[in-house]
Amino acid sequence: MPLSLSPLSSLVLKVVLLAGGGQAESNAHSHAVHVRSLAALAVARGVPAADVTIFWADGTEPGPDRAVGDGAPVPGEWILENTHLDAPTNVSTALENTEFPGFTVLPAKREALKKWLDKTGGKLGVGDTLLLAVTDHGEPDPKDDRDTRITLWGERLSQSQLAADLSAVKPGARVVMWMSQCFSGGFAEIALNRPNTCGAFSANANQIAYGCFPELAGRTDVGHFVHMLDGLAARGTLGGASDWAMLRDDTPDQPHLASDLLLTDWLQDEAAKQGVTIDEIVDRGLAAAPADAPERLLAARITEAYGLGPVPTQRAMGERLSELEDLLHAAETWRNLWEPALTSGRRWLAGPFEVHVKKNATRQEKRLVRQGFVSQLAALARA
């Protein structure tokens, strides 16, 4: 389903941005960067600020609600990890309050979201669109199924709960979900059961996502949300943005659409009916599809972007993935052997040193002490 950020005058586009963060210590500054960026893009494309609602952490409460790092790690500080010199000199993040001037800001709580959906979402009519964008932490389904969770402020919102709350939006209105949190793919289940609903997701229901960690807050090139944002600005549709992210987001994310889940479910059912594998059905379809079909061209660009080489069939892709799994297993084996040796080496180097940092030391004072230790340990390691 296409989504344009330039609404027709006769239709309504409501934009909801959701970022709960759990609590201040775990609410990464990058969430605020994401929210501000999408809100600004929506307004720049003609969406009135009054039609953009932000459900953020504790809302407009004055207390700290996000963790902000200084954005400048000490070069070479990996040498201090797992030693007694690390914690006392660590430049910890600061907790700060967040404001979004010019926009309606409500707490990222289920009750607040449900009230908004009942009141405002319920007024949306045929052809109107609700865009629900999530940049946040997510949690898996405890039963290892698709009922995954969004981390709100001090609570969780499950896929089944959101599906129930969205019932306030009339079936004739479109609901478009953009979800970049871990385990976000579980929410595609809503699109399978609700009419006029679709979405783009950063990861499958059983996989973590990447891009909302504190050390990434100052970067504009990492993670599903930032690539979706760039793609939406460049392509103008959510589907085009997802394709954009697939080609450029080289983190462990797995960008996909709700339609991909629909297709996967259909393939599984059809394979069971025919008594064949999914690979056989896909390869039959590929053989019948023209060489310049958009999906084939996109697949070719993806395999080229990630250095997979020519992969003409689904069976060949399975073989290539099996090869990569073998390489990954070998790499993990070497990592498991190397990490204890590295930790022992670090601790041996750091053993003779003592650390004295006053309790009220500033971040700059800790940074200077940390830089000194890094320099001395590096010299010892080279010697």
Please check the confidence at residue 214 and state whether its pLDDT lies above 60.
Answer: no
DSSP 251: S
Q: What is the pLDDT of residue 9?
A: 44
Please check the confidence at residue 8 and state whether its pLDDT lies above 50.
Answer: no
DSSP string, 221-247: SSSHHHHHHHHHHHHSSHHHHHHHHHH
Q: pLDDT tens across 273-320, in order? A: 999 999 999 999 999 999 899 888 988 898 998 888 888 899 999 999
At 343, is the pLDDT very low, low, confident or very high (cuts 50, 70, 90)? Answer: very high
Q: Give the H or E element holding residue 178.
A: strand 174-179
Check: CB of residue 34 under 8 Å from CB of residue 229: yes
- What whole-number percentage of the chain has pLDDT above 70? 94
Residues 80-91 have a mean pLDDT of 91
At 2, is the pLDDT very low, low, confident or very high (cuts 50, 70, 90)? Answer: low
Q: pLDDT tens across 17-75, in order? A: 999 999 999 898 889 999 999 999 999 999 999 999 999 999 999 999 998 876 667 78
Residues 218-232 have a mean pLDDT of 84
Closest CA to 131 of 256, 259, 39: 39
Residue position matching structure tokens 């201090």? 80
At 213, is the pLDDT very low, low, confident or very high (cuts 50, 70, 90)? Answer: low
| 104-106 and 94-96 beta bridge pairing | unpaired
Please check the confidence at residue 13 and state whether its pLDDT lies above 60.
Answer: yes
* CA–CA separation, 29 and 141 (whole Å): 26
Q: What is the pLDDT of residue 75?
A: 85
Closest CA to 202 of 150, 126, 272, 265: 150
Residues 359-375 have a mean pLDDT of 89
Please check the confidence at residue 81 and state whether its pLDDT lies above 80.
Answer: yes
229-266: b or e for each residue (b if 16 or more CB lie within 10 Å)?
bbbbeeeeebbebbbbbbbebebebbbbbbbbbeeeee
* CA–CA separation, 175 and 190 (whole Å): 10
Structural domains in the chain plus CATH codes? 13-62+97-256 (3.40.50.1460), 323-382 (no CATH)
At 359, is the pLDDT very low, low, confident or very high (cuts 50, 70, 90)? Answer: confident
- Using CA atoms, how far residue 219 sits from 25, 29, 257, 343, in Å, is 20, 11, 25, 29
Check: CB of residue 198 under 8 Å from CB of residue 151: no
Closest CA to 353 of 336, 366, 369: 369
Please check the confidence at residue 7 and state whether its pLDDT lies above 50.
Answer: no
Residues 242-246 have a mean pLDDT of 93
* CA–CA separation, 67 and 87 (whole Å): 17
- What whole-number percentage of the chain has pLDDT above 90? 74
Q: pLDDT tens across 250-266, in order? A: 888 999 999 998 999 89
Q: Helix, strand, or coil here: 210?
A: coil
At 101, is the pLDDT very low, low, confident or very high (cuts 50, 70, 90)? Answer: very high
- The answer for residues whose C-beta is within 8 angstroms of residue 325's C-beta and 6 or more apart is none
Q: What is the pLDDT of residue 106?
A: 98
Closest CA to 187 of 161, 211, 155, 226: 161
Give the pair of three-digit tokens for residue 315. Answer: 């069976």
Name the average pLDDT for the chain: 91
At 217, is the pLDDT very low, low, confident or very high (cuts 50, 70, 90)? Answer: low
Q: Which of 200-204, 219-223, 365-369 has the highest mean pLDDT?
A: 200-204
From 94-98, 248-252, 272-276, the region with the lowest mean pLDDT: 248-252
